[in-house]
Structure 1
Amino acid sequence: MMKAMIISDSHGLTEELIILKKKHTDVDVCIHCGDSELDISHESLASFELVRGNCDFDPQFPNAITKELLGLRFFITHGHLYNVKMTLMNLAYKAEEEQAEIVCFGHSHIAGSEMIGGRLFINPGSIRLPKGIHEKTYVLLEVQNREIKVQFYSLEGNLLKSLSKTYHLE
C-alpha cells in the first residue's frame, strides 16, 4: 500500500505543515495544492510537491504538475486557472488531456472527492479557512492496486467519516 498526504490553502500557516509532516511520516508523497503564501524554499514546504495558487507570489511555483506518483498519473493544480469555483468541467478537460487518473486541486476551500469520467478529483479543503464545514481539513490517500481510499481528517487528526470514501479505478 502507498500513501499520500494532500493539503491545500494553508494561507501562511507553517507550524501546522511541519506538525502534519511529522505526524504522517509513513506517507510516500506530500502534495500541496497551492495558496501556501510562502516562498517555495520555506522549510515548512520542504518535501512537498508544490503548485502555485492565486495567493502565491513566488514565481518559482509551477502552475501545475503532471507526474507519476503512487503508481498512478496525477495532475496537481490550484484550480483558479480552471474556474473550479463555478464548474469542474475545465479541469476535467485538462485532466483528460494530461491522461491523469487522479486530480488534486484546491482554491474553493471546500473539501470533497468524486469520480468524473473515470478520474478521481480530490479537493482536500483548507487547513486554515474551510468553507461549508467547520473542520479544517486535509486528505490521506491510500492506494492499493486500483482501490483508492480518500480519507479526510481535521487538522486535529480526527477522521471525518462523512467525507471519506473508497473508489475503484477502472
Structure 2
Amino acid sequence: MSKVLIVSDSHGSTEVLEGIEKLHGNDVDLMIHCGDSELSESDAAIVNFRSVKGNCDFYGTFPDDETHDVNGVKIFVTHGHLYSVKSTLVNLYYKAKELQADIVCFGHSHLLGAEMVDDVLFINPGSIRLPRSRAEKSYAILELENEKAILQIYDYGNGELTELRQEFSLHKKS
C-alpha cells in the first residue's frame, strides 16, 4: 500500500505546511502540493513537497504540471488555472486521457471535491488556508492498494473528517 498526501492553495502559510508535514511526513510515500504555495522551491516549508506552479506563484520555477507513478498508478498534478477548472473539468479530463493518468490532483478553486469521471479520479483537496464553501482547512491523504483508492479528508488542526472518507475503484492500465 502507498500513501499520497495532497494539499493545495496554502498561499504563503509556511506554518500549516510544516504542521502537515510534521503530522504525516513519515507516514506517506509522496507529498504533493497542487500550487499557489506562494513560496520558492528552496523554502524549507515546501522543499519536501512535489509542487506545481499556481497562478499566484511568482517565486521559484515550479513546473506547470507533473506526473508521478505510485505503484503503477499514474497521478497527474496541475494547479488547474491553465485548464479552466473553475468552470469545467473537460479540459483536465482530456489532458488526463492524453497522459493515460488514473488520478488527477488539482486546486485553484479552493473547493474540496473528489469524483470519478469514466475511469479517471479527480481530487481537489480544497485549500489549507482559504477554503471556499466549507469552513475546514482541508487536505487529503490517498491510500492506494491494488485497484483501490481510499481518500481521507483532513481539517488542519482538527483531524480526519471521517464522514468524507470515500473509496474508489481504479482500473490500472496493463
Cα distance in 2, alignment partners of residues 79 and 6 from structure 1? 14
Aligned to 1:91: 92
Aligned to 1:33: 34
Measured after TM superposition, the shift of residue 147 of structure 1 is 0.7
5+ residue gaps, structure 1: none
1:68 maps to amino acid: D
Show the 5 A alignment for 1:95-110: 95-110=96-111
SS at match of 1:16: helix
Cα distance in 2, alignment partners of residues 81 and 133 from structure 1? 24
2:106 maps to amino acid: F
2:63 maps to amino acid: P
Render the CA deviation track for 1:108-154: whole Å, top value 9, x for unaligned.
00001000120110000000000111111000110111111011100
Aligned to 2:69: 68
CA contact (8 A) 2:10 2:127 kept: yes
Cα distance in 2, alignment partners of residues 118 and 97 from structure 1? 13
SS at match of 2:10: coil
Cα distance in 2, alignment partners of residues 98 and 57 from structure 1? 27
CA contact (8 A) 1:106 1:125 kept: yes
Measured after TM superposition, the shift of residue 157 of structure 1 is 3.8
Measured after TM superposition, the shift of residue 164 of structure 1 is 2.3
Render the CA deviation track for 1:80-131: whole Å, top value 9, x for unaligned.
0000000000000011111100100000000010001201100000000001
SS at match of 2:4: strand
Cα distance in 1, alignment partners of residues 54 and 135 from structure 2? 22
CA contact (8 A) 1:28 1:70 kept: no
Change (3 A) 1:74 1:160: same
CA contact (8 A) 1:3 1:70 kept: no
Aligned to 2:9: 9
Show the 5 A alignment for 1:86-165: 86-165=87-166
5+ residue gaps, structure 2: none
Aligned to 1:166: 167
The runs of 4+ residues in structure 1 deviating greater than 3 Å are none
State TM-score, norm by structure 2: 0.94
Cα distance in 2, alignment partners of residues 19 and 123 from structure 1? 20
Q: Identity across aligned pairs (percent)?
A: 52
